[in-house]
Amino acid sequence: MRFPKPYADAAQRLRVPGGFLLLAAFVLLSRPGVESILRGLPLSLIGLWIRAWAAGHLAKNEDLAVSGPYSRVRNPLYLGSLFLAGGVVIGARSWWLALIFTAAFVLIYLPVIQLEEEHLRKLFPGYASYARRVPSLRPRLGASGGGRGFRWELYRRNKEWKALAGYLFALAWLLFRSRPY
């Protein structure tokens, strides 16, 4: 799906304020139970793992990331975020929240991915070839390509601990909301 450039630019500007609106929806619409939280937990943990793995292979704007998860999918950070958010939404036990998060991904994050890929095409001459071989969000199976291994230095530089902190906040809220009154 291609988005017009003016729309994609607007989506990129709305990403941070939109995140605050998603947070408000999460706080207001969550109706969790311990069972729903436990059902969503594995999905969120997979998302955190994917994001951490990707962050340890990403040297932003320095090198084209093609190792680790980037050998299987071009946007592993967004894929990890999808899993992470999916687990949180399952834990929240709200169809409205599921609808809102899905709409936000389609209307905000897909256009942002498009802009980021345009930027990478300009920055790295090999990106077009890489994009033809590696899918955007659905990981290809099979042997992964070589390249460098995971680097804790990159994980720290990319501040991936923030995803874990955000998840722990969400989990704490869900556990708080699941208490009987």
The SS3 of residue 57 is: coil
Asked whether 57 and 103 are in contact (CB, 8 A), the reply is no
CB-based contacts of 12: which residues, under 8 Å, 6+ apart? 111, 112, 115
pLDDT tens, residue order, the chain (181 aa): 789 889 899 999 999 899 999 999 999 999 999 999 999 999 999 999 999 999 999 999 899 999 999 999 999 999 999 999 999 999 999 999 999 999 999 999 999 999 999 999 999 999 999 999 999 999 988 766 667 789 999 999 999 999 999 999 999 999 999 987 6
**What pLDDT, on the 0 to 100 scale, is given for residue 181?**
63
Look at residue 94 in the predicted model and tell me its pLDDT. Answer: 97
| pLDDT confidence of residue 148 | 79
pLDDT of residue 134: 95
Q: pLDDT value at position 1?
A: 76
pLDDT at site 146: 65
| Per-residue pLDDT, 169 | 96
Residue type, 144: S
Per-residue confidence (pLDDT) for residue 27, from 0 to 100: 94
Nearest to 61 by CA among 157, 161, 164, 160: 157
User: What is the reported pLDDT for 2?
Assistant: 87
d(CA 35, CA 54): 30
Contact 70, 142 (CB under 8 A): no
For residue 151, give both structure tokens. 């680097």
Query: pTM above the 0.85 mark?
Result: yes
114 membership: H or E segment, kind and range: helix 110-123
Q: Tell me the angle at which helices 5-29 and 110-123 cross, rounded to the nearest 10 degrees.
A: 130
Q: What is the pLDDT of residue 143?
A: 62
The C-alpha atoms of residue 105 and residue 43 are separated, in whole angstroms, by 17
CATH class of this structure's domain 5-140+149-177: mainly alpha
Contact partners, residue 108, CB within 8 Å, separation at least 6? 11, 14, 15, 18
Residue 179: per-residue pLDDT: 82
